[in-house]
A and B are shown apart, each in its own frame.
Chain A
Amino acid sequence: MSTTDYLIEVSVTISIIFLILFYIYYKYNSAKSEMDQVAEKNNYVDTGSYFRDNFGGKTKAIGIKPFLLNDSKSIGIRYIITSIIFFFIAGTFGVIMRVSLVEPTPTLFLNRTVIYDVLTTQHGILMIYMWALGSALGFSYYLLPSFLKVKKDSMGGYSSAAYWIYLLGAIFIVLSRSSTRWYFYPPLSINLNPYNAGSFNWLAVLGMEMIFVGVVIAAVVVIKMIIMDRDDNVKIEQMPLFAWAVLFTLIMLVASAPFFMLGLAMTFYDFFNPVFFVSSSSSPLSFAEMFWIWGHPIVYIAVLPQFGLIYEIMPKFTGNKIYSYASGVLALGLLMPLSELVWGHHLLNSGFGIEWGLFFSTASFLVVIPSAITVFNYIATLWTSAKIRMTVPMLFVVNGIFDFIIGGITGVIQSNLELNEVLHGTYWVTGHFHFIFLGITTGIGFATIYMLFPSLTDGRKYNVRLAYWHFTLTAIGSFIMSMGWTVGGFYGMPRFVAGYFARFQAFQDTAILGGVIVGVAQLFFLANIFVTYSKKPSIPTNNALEDAYNLPVLENGGE
């Protein structure tokens, strides 16, 4: 057989395969649009839910179906489940890091201290991108369709693709075992020597880029949901505060992510031809700037949706409305531009010059204003309440406000130019953001998961005693750990190193005690799942968070 005949045969075969595939796609598409019309006629906001309820039987939240259906609720459950799994993985790394520091010169990783760097990197990246950002996206996808009574649940395919890219990126990050810290500074991050920088840095950079692609697509879909798919009865000036918080957060995300995405792409090019960050015409500081233009907003992205969730959870247990809706929106809105302007305070000691230092320092002080408005709004709501029901979610909320005040004040102290020269690079910084991340991000995340518990577990009640233990140990442990770091850092205990000077023994021991308590506390959450699932479902699958928003739309029929 000649080559020409062979080529003809191959091309004919491929054409036939494509024709068959196109026919299958055509049939699928016409069936889907038919199904769309039927679903709309039956007052379903999305086809996936209609299909699930009428043909696939009742869906289970923990199971394979949320990973196959493309409606917003399923995608929200995907993100929530993924974030919980990665929270436990990254949390294990954190606890092992703490435990390894029982002695000033650790023997747990004897002659292998790079393991500590690998664990630091993985703990940081996974906690921020998978737990904080993942749970925020999950709650947005899960709650916003009910909160805003969306007219049509659209762009499910995009959300689904974005989720898989994001998950694959996270798996790449874990497989890379990189030790570049979460900020990927060159020249360490373009070092391909496994001993100096963990293993496959190129895989970590690739995974990071994929996480960004996924997150940005998801952000655009959620912004579109808030702005365009909102029901006509839900005016933008009456939107739930959680929707405002998510809107501001995601605009911030979309506005600042490109800087770091570009930086990552340049880093990837530097693997092959180092021209951008270590060449004679550039400097690694240019990467640091590109990173922190994104890196500061991300720490707000981890906090702002949780502020919105506090606004939603609090009225359920205080019995009154949020004290001031307008000031809540104003504060969340002020945090958005301010967080874009203060990124330089992460680089105050890198030789910007005093003028830039003063600018970023002052801008950082200004962040106090919206933060204080938010906190006083919470306090006023609690103050004007007739009776506060101290359930587990409410305890998490109160503890979150308490931790946020401490974490915020320590943050303002270190944005002072002179004090920053002393405090940068010490455990003070670690203590500052762990107060906020454990109090607000993790605490409110678990508060919301407890609120959504009947929906996520097909109508089961969580074990209150175990949940109380979970809360109590998390609150006490995180306070002990962060306080040990903060005080030790004030005395100059350097962070990010696998070891410490013997005179910091007391502070490290305090932090280890707290860290182990936090680690044990999360096991109570796991135990809660085991205990809960050993019983049969006993209550309806609706939850308190969505109830208030769900009722009116069903009467109107969504038309």
Chain B
Amino acid sequence: MAERTFSRGMIFGIVIIILMFGGLYYMLSAPTTLNGGLIEPSNTPYKDTINVTLYANALGWDYGVKGDHTNPTFNITVGTRIVFTVIEADTAPHTLTIADSPSESSTHLTLVTTSQLTQITGHSVTVSYVFDKVGTWTYWCEIHPTTMVGAINVLASANTSANANCHVSPDSAQHHSQNNNNLNSFFEFLLDISGAIIA
């Protein structure tokens, strides 16, 4: 037998070392972004917070009043954080999914999953998201995408006033519309004036 300096035991040890570091590398490269990196979770500072309570019903999202299935449109200024409280209203599974496009998109972010919102009527889940991009966003339920869909209009901030950039128009029945923009700017103007007077 010739003198062997590199035997199978050493190969075994080297395989162990390779597997140790390979496994560690694999674990450390685990995806930590939502849905494989389609939209990053927003850690940006927010200027204002709106609390929104949505009843999840297969016939449509209810805002405030349970049972009207309005799919409300929300008009907010950029940098607003919406705290969604999603409440199960029927016994069907629902999600709350958002995308920064005027309609449902595959590049989306599911804020509330079917497993978070159980099918027990009355169960609620609270999540929040900072809308930091101007444009029309869509929110919908992935299981009922045709009935449960609504729009979030994220408007450019007219000024930096902290208390003047929050407008919700829950009673608007038609989504994907910019109808209330004039009214909103008027409200903004009024609020600015009032703020100035108070100051």
Q: Do A and B bind each other?
A: yes
B114-133 toward A: CB 8 Å interface, digit per residue (1/0)?
11101111000000000000
Q: Which residues of A contact B32 (CB under 8 A)?
A: 111-112, 114-115, 194-195
Of chain B, the residue at the smallest CB distance from A198 is B30
Instruction: Give the residues from 1 to 53 in chain B that come closer than 8 angstroms, CB to CB, to chain A.
Output: 1, 5, 7-10, 12-13, 15-17, 19-21, 23-24, 26-28, 30-36, 41, 43
Instruction: Decide if A377 is an interface residue (CB 8 Å cutoff).
Output: no
Whether A194 lies near B34 (C-beta < 8 A) is yes
Determine whether the beta carbon of A62 is less than 8 Å from that of B9.
Answer: yes
Give chain B residues whose Cβ lies under 8 Å from the Cβ of A81. 12
Q: Is A399 an interface position by the 8 A CB rule?
A: no
Least Cβ distance of B1 to chain A in Å?
7
- Say yes or no: is A516 at the interface (Cβ < 8 Å to chain B): no
Q: Cβ of B93 < 8 Å from any Cβ of A?
A: yes
The answer to the question of B107 belonging to the interface, with a C-beta cut-off of 8 Å to chain A, is no
- Residues of B within 8 Å of A199, CB to CB, are 30-31
The answer, yes or no, to whether A174 is at the interface (CB within 8 Å) is yes
Known: A88-B20, A89-B19, A115-B30. Contact between A274 and B12, CB under 8 A? no
A186 B9 Cβ-Cβ under 8 A? no
Counting CB contacts under 8 A, is B110 at the interface? yes
> In whole angstroms, how far apart are the Cα atoms of A112 and B43 in the complex?
13
Chain B 122-150 residues near chain A, CB threshold 8 A:
none
Query: Which B residues are in CB contact (< 8 Å) with A280?
Result: 91, 118-121
**CB-nearest residue of chain A to B93:** A274
Of the candidates A88, A191, A526, A533, the one whose C-beta lies within 8 Å of that of B113 is: A191
Query: How far does the alpha carbon of A529 sit from the alpha carbon of B114 in the complex, in Å?
Result: 51
- Selected from B10, B15, B36, the residue in CB contact (under 8 A) with A533 is B10
> A530 and B120: CB pair below 8 A?
no
- From known contacts A89-B19, A174-B23, infer whether A193 and B12 are also in contact, taking CB-CB under 8 Å: no
Nearest chain B residue, comparing its CB with the CB of A96: B24
Inter-chain contact B27/A62, CB cutoff 8 Å: no
Cα of A284 to Cα of B32 in the assembled complex, Å: 25
Q: A115-B28, A194-B31, A194-B34 are in contact. Are A85 and B8 (CB under 8 A)?
A: no
With a cutoff of 8 Å between Cβ atoms, the chain B residues found around residue A343 in the complex are: none
Chain B, Cβ-Cβ closest to A195 = B34
With A115-B27, A191-B115, A191-B116 known to touch, is A534 a contact of B34 (CB < 8 Å)? no
Q: How many residue pairs, one in A and one in B, have C-beta atoms under 8 Å apart?
A: 117
Q: Determine how close the nearest CB of chain A comes to the CB of B96; give it in whole angstroms.
A: 12
- Cβ A92 vs Cβ B23 within 8 A: yes
In the complex, A192→B93 CA distance in Å?
A: 15
Q: Inside 8 A of B35's CB, which chain A residues have their CB?
A: 193-195
A235 near B: Cβ within 8 Å?
no
The distance in angstroms between the C-alpha atoms of A115 and B33, with both chains bound, is 11
Which residues of chain B have C-beta atoms less than 8 A from A92's C-beta? Answer: 20-21, 23-24
Pick from A91, A194, A199, A270 the residue with the most CB of B within 10 Å.
Answer: A194
Chain A: CB-nearest residue to B123: A280
State A85–B93 Cα separation when bound (angstroms). 43
Provide the residues of chain A in CB contact with B118, threshold 8 Å.
187, 274, 278-280
Chain A: interface residue total (CB-CB under 8 A): 48
Judging by beta carbons under 8 Å apart, are A60 and B30 in contact?
A: no
Contact string, A109-132, partner B, CB cutoff 8 A, digits 1/0? 001101100110010000000000
* Complex CA distance for A280 and B26, rounded to whole angstroms: 38
Which chain B residues lie closer than 8 Å to A196 at the CB level?
113
Indicate the size class of the contact surface on chain B: 35 or more
Contact (Cβ within 8 A) B13 A529:
yes
> Which residues of chain A are near B91, meaning CB under 8 Å?
280
**A273, chain B: closest CB distance, angstroms:** 8
CA distance A260 to B15 in the complex (A): 33
Contact with B along A46-65 (1 / 0, CB 8 A): 00000000000000101100
Chain A nearest CB, measured from B152 CB (Å) = 21
A229 to chain B, nearest CB (A): 31
A62 and B12 contact, Cβ closer than 8 Å, known pairs A112-B32, A198-B30: yes
Question: Do B119 and A193 touch (CB < 8 A)?
Answer: no
Q: Which residue of B lies closest to A86 (CB)?
A: B19
Q: How far is the CB of A468 from chain B (nearest CB, A)?
A: 19
Tell me the complex Cα distance, A118–B28, Å.
9
Q: Contact: B13 with A274, CB < 8 Å?
A: no
- A274 in contact with B114 (CB, 8 Å): yes
Q: Is there an interface contact between B116 and A118, defined as CB atoms closer than 8 Å?
A: no
Residues of B within 8 A of A192 (CB): 113
| Nearest chain A CB to B10 CB, angstrom units | 5
Q: A278-B115, A279-B119, A536-B1 are in contact. Are A530 and B9 (CB under 8 A)?
A: yes
Q: Does A190 reach chain B (CB closer than 8 Å)?
A: yes
Cβ contacts under 8 Å, B8 to chain A: 60, 62-63, 533
Contacts of A274 in B (CB 8 A): 93, 114-115, 118-119
Q: With the chains together, A337 CA to B8 CA distance in Å?
A: 44
Whether a CB of chain B sits under 8 angstroms from the CB of A84 is yes
Give chain B residues whose Cβ lies under 8 Å from the Cβ of A198. 30
- Bound: A255/B10 CA distance, A: 41
Residues of B within 8 A of A93 (CB): 23-24, 27
Alpha-carbon distance A84/B1, docked complex (angstroms): 29
B41 partner residues in chain A, CB cutoff 8 A: 195
Which residues of A have CB within 8 Å of B5? 534
Residues from chain A with a CB closer than 8 A to the CB of B93 are 274
Task: Kindly state whether residue A457 has any CB partner on chain B within 8 Å.
Answer: yes
Q: How far apart are A47's CB and chain B's nearest CB, in angstroms?
A: 25
A349, CB-defined interface residue at 8 Å:
no
A63 to B7, CA, bound (A): 11
In the assembled complex, how far is the CB of residue B86 from the closest CB belonging to chain A, in whole angstroms? 14
Minimal beta-carbon separation of B124 from chain A (angstroms): 14
CA distance A460 to B30 in the complex (A): 41
A85–B115 touching, CB < 8 Å = no
* A81 to B13 alpha-carbon distance, docked (Å): 11
- B28 contact set on A, CB distance < 8 A: 115
Nearest chain B CB to A176 CB, angstrom units: 10
Q: Is the CB of A114 within 8 A of B115?
A: no
Q: Which residues of chain B are near A181, meaning CB under 8 Å?
A: none
Beta-carbon contact of A195 and B31 below 8 Å: yes
User: In the complex, what distance in Å separates the CA atom of A92 from the CA atom of B22?
Assistant: 10
Tell me which of B30, B33, B36 contacts A118 (CB under 8 A).
B30
Question: B64-85 toward A: CB 8 Å interface, digit per residue (1/0)?
Answer: 0000000000000000000000
- Say how far B182's CB is from chain A's closest CB, in angstroms: 39
| In the assembled complex, A385 has its CB within 8 A of some CB on chain B | no
A sample of 4 more A-B contacts (CB under 8 A), given A93-B27, A119-B27, A279-B120, is: A114-B32, A190-B115, A195-B33, A526-B16
Query: Can you show 11 pairs from A to B with CB atoms below 8 A apart?
Result: A60-B8, A111-B43, A115-B27, A186-B115, A193-B110, A198-B30, A199-B31, A274-B93, A278-B119, A280-B91, A530-B13
Q: Which 10 A-B pairs have the closest CB atoms?
A: A533-B9, A187-B115, A280-B120, A533-B7, A112-B32, A177-B30, A89-B23, A278-B118, A92-B20, A195-B34
